[in-house]
Amino acid sequence: MLAALSTVNDPELHRDLVSLGMIERAEVSGGVADIKVNLTTPACPLKATIQADVTRAALGVTGVESVQVEFGAQVRTQATPPLPGVKNIIVVGSGKGGVGKSSVASNLACALAGTGARVGLLDADVYGPSIAHMMGQGTARITANAEKKMQPIEAHGLRFLSMGNLMPAGQALVWRGPMLHSAIGQFLKDAAWGELDYLIVDLPPGTGDVQLSLTQSVQLTGAVIVTTPQDVALLDASRAIDMFRKASVPVLGIVENMSYFVAPDTGLTYDIFGRGGAQKLAQSFGGLPILGEIPLDTEVRQDADAGRPSVLAHPDSPASRALTQVALNLAGRVSVQTFTGSLEPLPMA
């Protein structure tokens, strides 16, 4: 059976499942092949392809009449985990405000958690925190555990921390750079995050103190850049990409948010902010991947205001399906990054 399964490649890593150590069990009894595959992430975007390929290969084995495929998942980390118990830290940045970065970050975190991954969400936008409200926990307060570490708040199947849960609503935070650096360090290292597959970090706009503090404090798995299609947003997004590259942080991909609008009454599509800007941006940086295009949808805004991200509140809406696909694509990119040490697929064996 293993010989047959060695002909099945992981579609992203381009190496066979056996040599990658992804086959946990492969047994045949009474004409039934019982196979367990441990994926590189529970959010594998090509799970159906792997199942079909494994089934086809197993049915080619003499005596096998049917195939049962079970999936597990083992998310990998870098050689040295960025934080104790935290396998991957992914920052979501934009270069400018108003492009829906926090909405994208919160929905990506919830979508990943929905696949069974263990997910944390850190609101690093200290001056303008919005994650607490988007997660429906604006009045909750952060407490300390027995070890005097900050206890993340739990909501929607994940854990999160936000300055919005430490400060009274509407109160301005007037801090200089060193205080920001200290706060980010505490959120990262003095919090009881526990075991996480992914820690998603919602960055503030720009390329300033918080971004520098993060890149200097921990080894980041990579960055996701959120932009809208118009040129003024792309200019700032390009600055964010340049900053991450200078800091040796891999750019995992670009998300084009508010990419288009579909009128609910006519079904006509309108490119309110233009369209395809992210593709131009990706090409200007040597062909960065586009993780997805998210349509402009009033439900996304309404759901954020209501404290329940759209991928949970309206999972079948076009925007939610697009956001979920972005999360799966992101998980696939992270798997390639952690398996190979780069964003290039493994060479063919």
Q: Decide if pLDDT at 228 tops 60.
A: yes
Residue numbers in the known binding site for ATP are 95-102
Q: pLDDT of 292-337, one tens digit each?
A: 999 999 999 999 999 999 999 999 999 999 999 999 999 999 999 8
Q: pLDDT of 264-286, one tens digit each?
A: 889 899 999 888 899 999 999 99
Interstrand relation of 32-39 and 23-29 (parallel, antiparallel or unpaired): antiparallel
Choose the most confident range, by mean pLDDT, from 80-89, 184-193, 318-327, 337-346.
318-327
Domain 89-340, CATH class in plain words = alpha beta
- Which regions of the chain does DSSP assign to beta strands (E)? 23-29, 32-39, 66-73, 89-93, 119-123, 143-144, 150-151, 153-155, 158-162, 198-202, 222-227, 251-256, 261-262, 269-270, 290-293
Q: Decide if pLDDT at 343 tops 70.
A: no
Longest dimension (CA), the chain: 72
What is the average pLDDT score of the chain?
A: 91
DSSP assignments along 275-333, one per residue? S-HHHHHHHHTT---EEEEPPP-HHHHHHHHHTS-HHHHSTTSHHHHHHHHHHHHHHHH
Identical topology for domains 2-73 and 89-340: no
Domain 2-73, CATH = 3.30.300.130
Span 214-240, average pLDDT: 93
Span 34-63, average pLDDT: 95
Angle between helices 209-217 and 177-189 (to 10 degrees): 40
> Of all residues in the chain, what percent carry a pLDDT higher than 90?
75
Sheet of 66-73, strand order: 23-29, 32-39, 66-73
Q: Decide if pLDDT at 246 tops 90.
A: yes
Residue 226 token pair: 């959120």
Q: Decide if pLDDT at 349 tops 60.
A: no
Domain locations in the chain? 2-73, 89-340
Q: How far is C-alpha 265 from the chain's CA centre?
A: 33
pLDDT at position 344 is 61
Lowest mean pLDDT, pick from 57-71, 167-181, 194-208, 297-311: 167-181
Which residues on neighbouring strands pair with residue 197, listed in sequence order?
A: none
pLDDT at position 222 is 95
pLDDT band of 348, cuts 50, 70, 90: very low
Q: pLDDT of 85-100, one tens digit each?
A: 999 999 999 988 889 9
pLDDT at position 53 is 96
Angle between helices 231-246 and 277-284 (to 10 degrees): 30
Lowest mean pLDDT, pick from 25-29, 164-168, 254-258, 311-315: 164-168
Residue numbers in the known binding site are 95-102
The single-letter DSSP state of residue 32 is: E
Q: Decide if pLDDT at 68 tops 80.
A: yes
CB 106 within 8 A of CB 134: yes
pTM for the structure as a whole: 0.92
pLDDT at position 337 is 87
